[in-house]
Chains A and B, each alone.
Chain A
């Protein structure tokens, strides 16, 4: 499929809503827990079994982003968004069939396998295009899209709950809910498919040769990027930052309850649920806020903040968390905003180091760090909490060791970020003079921001 070129006068502000329509849809994955209790009671499943579609979905997200990235670069964002739409929506339709016929394997295959491919391709589909449209503010542009992934769960969670309340939590009701999800998301994502455009070809270079001007800065292919230490440093940075964020996310409700259980102001179950909701807001705000900030202060500096200040926040919780509820809440909110910011800033960091040439494919490969952290984070936190409980500890004492481990992980990430240097020219891609090179968009309709790379 030929990438859809923008006609003259096409506003670059049409591209973020195109990206958001995809990310707000696929972000539904984080609201899967809404379907767990009804599935467990309707089909007689255990908690582990009912989590399978989500877990397979996240594994497929990492795999399809890693292996499909080059195809996305080659075929363009419209192709990628179409694939994401087809896979994600048909995943729901297959799951609806599974629920209606009470064949649970069909739900796992539909939502987890098919839908998971939609998650991975959809996640990386707009990244490269947004960076090309917003060369002056790549952090803000990708921050908007990746914020959408966080926002998707905020929409889906109450919406799916209301649907299950209306349709009933029996197999027929769940099937109907899946069907409505599949059809609604297909319509919603269509906006992205129709609106997305890549910037028109570059104007001829100033040397009079007639060849298109090459994009500024170093350009590195996805294959070559894997051979650079910079890629693996960033892999470590993302993995450590996500693992540390999951350290709070995974245990947020029991953590705040345990920390203040023996104080004069214990935390109720509903207040703990409110705390979890507030963390989601911080996660989302961090995606757009910190990512946009990185356009001003530089990518390396913003990761110094995420990893260095993040470690200090964990230290404050470990040392003084049970002494002050506002301090505990503030530190947790800052950590979660850094967690979201880490996700959203990484595409712009990749663009700074490897250029726009195959940044989407490189981003896809880097997302394996997310999959790793998704396994590592809960494993550490749950294992430590269980072992501390068996050792007879209670209250804040249950979390001391895991908080210390999180500080250590953040410091490893901090060191990896310090090791990031510009990519050696031997890795740079030498463009074919006859091939068309996409040009950055005109910045005339924006408030051009200074660009720094730390």
Chain B
């Protein structure tokens, strides 16, 4: 059990914050990879 004076854990907020920026970046990278493969297939 955490100590009553211990600062609150911010793990949930950290995960949410990284998802907030990670998901759009993942979409951008996916589109990039799709386009980059044309170098080898086009």
**Which residues of A come within 8 Å of B, CB atoms?**
7-11, 13-14, 17-18, 20-21, 24, 148, 151, 154-155, 157-159, 188, 191, 195, 268-275, 277-278, 280-281, 329
Query: Is A14's CB under 8 angstroms from B14's CB?
Result: yes
A8-B7, A268-B42, A270-B38 given as contacts; is B32 within 8 A of A277 (CB)?
yes
Query: Is A191's CB under 8 angstroms from B17's CB?
Result: yes
**Residues of B with C-beta under 8 A to A273:** 35, 38, 42
Kindly count the residue-residue contacts between A and B in the assembled complex, taking CB atoms under 8 Å apart.
91
Query: Is B35's CB under 8 angstroms from A10's CB?
Result: no
Q: Give the dominant DSSP class at B's interface.
A: helix
Chain B contacts with A in 1-42, Cβ cutoff 8 A? 6-10, 13-14, 17-18, 20-21, 24-25, 27-29, 31-33, 35-42
**Residues of A with C-beta under 8 A to B35:** 273-274, 277
**Residues of B with C-beta under 8 A to A8:** 7
Give Cα distance in the complex from A269 to B42, angstroms: 8
Give Cα distance in the complex from A411 to B41, angstroms: 37
Shortest CB distance B2–A (Å): 11
Shortest CB distance B21–A (Å): 4
Query: Is B32's CB under 8 angstroms from A21's CB?
Result: no
A24-B25, A155-B25 given as contacts; is B36 within 8 A of A277 (CB)?
yes
**Residues of B with C-beta under 8 A to A154:** 25, 28-29, 31-32
**Residues of B with C-beta under 8 A to A329:** 39
A7-B7, A8-B7, A271-B39 given as contacts; is B32 within 8 A of A280 (CB)?
yes
23 CB contacts below 8 A, A to B, read A9-B8, A9-B10, A11-B10, A17-B14, A17-B20, A17-B21, A20-B21, A24-B21, A151-B28, A151-B29, A154-B25, A155-B27, A157-B31, A268-B42, A269-B42, A271-B39, A274-B35, A274-B36, A274-B39, A277-B35, A281-B29, A281-B36, A329-B39
**Residues of B with C-beta under 8 A to A18:** 17
**Residues of B with C-beta under 8 A to A17:** 14, 17-18, 20-21
Query: Is B31's CB under 8 angstroms from A9's CB?
Result: no
Query: Is A14's CB under 8 angstroms from B13's CB?
Result: yes
**Residues of A with C-beta under 8 A to B20:** 17, 21, 188, 191
Q: Which residue of A is nearest B38, CB measured?
A: A274
Q: Which residue of B is nearest A279, CB measured?
A: B36
**Residues of B with C-beta under 8 A to A271:** 38-42
Q: Which residue of A is nearest B10, CB measured?
A: A11
Give Cα distance in the complex from A374 to B13, angstroms: 39
Q: Which residue of A is nearest B35, CB measured?
A: A277
Known: A9-B6, A14-B14, A148-B25. 13 other contacts (CB 8 A): A10-B10, A14-B13, A18-B17, A154-B32, A155-B24, A191-B20, A269-B42, A271-B39, A274-B35, A274-B42, A277-B38, A277-B39, A281-B29
Shortest CB distance B40–A (Å): 7
Give Cα distance in the complex from A41 to B42, angstroms: 29
Q: Which residue of B is nearest A151, CB measured?
A: B25
Q: Which residue of B is nearest A154, CB measured?
A: B28
Query: Is B10's CB under 8 angstroms from A14's CB?
Result: yes
Query: Is A14's CB under 8 angstroms from B17's CB?
Result: yes
Give Cα distance in the complex from A24 to B33, angstroms: 18
Q: Which residue of B is nearest A15, CB measured?
A: B17
A17-B21, A271-B39 given as contacts; is B7 within 8 A of A9 (CB)?
yes
Query: Is A281's CB under 8 angstroms from B7's CB?
Result: no
Query: Is B21's CB under 8 angstroms from A148's CB?
Result: yes
Q: Which residue of A is nearest B8, CB measured?
A: A9
Give Cα distance in the complex from A47 to B7, angstroms: 56
Give Cα distance in the complex from A318 to B15, angstroms: 47
A271-B39, A271-B42, A274-B42 given as contacts; is B14 within 8 A of A21 (CB)?
no
**Residues of B with C-beta under 8 A to A277:** 32, 35-36, 38-39
